[in-house]
Amino acid sequence: MQTTTSKKVVSDCIFCDRTKFEERIIAENSNLYVIATLGQITGGYILIIPKRHVSCVGIMKEKEIVKIDEILQTASDYIEVEYGIKPIFFEHGVVGQTINHAHIHLLPAKIRMCSQIYRDFPNTQFCFLNSLKILKCNYDIMGRKKYLLWSTPEGMIKVAIDPPAPPQYLRIVAAKLIGLPERGDWYNMDQELDKHLRQETVNRLKPYF
């Protein structure tokens, strides 16, 4: 991927300041970064982050979402080759965000989060997307409300519209389903283990890009 520097930044946003995560960068181009996340639930856990400062992917332009979808599919293939398992992906569409800058999580795990999410938010409206590319249209139809978005192991995309989710909700659910609940809250994860897994993730995935 070609490297450039973004000009559209917000001074107090961590994801707008490349120096805050430079050692975790796996790849970048003019539109986005691919980085190893803090709080590695498992090795191979990455984020796709648009360089333009926006609060969630749903608010982005359709052509920008297409580019994110393309790199998401490419990165998913690379993770599957290297780690032997196709990743799920998810996004806190402002709901449950700890950093108010759009980012999509890719986590190598064959887990189904639907049942837990349905139980946690029984009064929430849910919808389905055929692909990430149509998120913009659905976001507008939803009245531009906050959302949670996640995929199934088969690649189906599901959305919960404006659920009362706490911070880090989807990654905490994922960690519990994987059997590593102690890694759900990235603030409390063992720092040495996390550092080791982050570096391993960079080393293993960077050559593919």
User: What does the pLDDT look like over 142-176, one tens digit per residue?
Assistant: 888 899 999 999 989 999 999 999 999 999 999 99
Is the entire prediction scored with pTM above 0.95?
Answer: no
Q: How far apart are CA 179 and CA 158, in angstroms?
A: 22
The set of residues, in sequence order, having a beta carbon less than 8 Å from that of 148 and lying 6+ positions away, is 90, 91, 92, 93, 95, 96, 117, 159, 160, 163, 165, 169, 170
User: What does the pLDDT look like over 105-143, one tens digit per residue?
Assistant: 999 999 999 999 999 999 999 999 988 988 988 888 888
Going along the chain from its start, the domains and CATH numbers come out as: 14-208 (3.30.428.10)
Residue whose token pair is 């880090």: 168
The set of residues, in sequence order, having a beta carbon less than 8 Å from that of 179 and lying 6+ positions away, is none
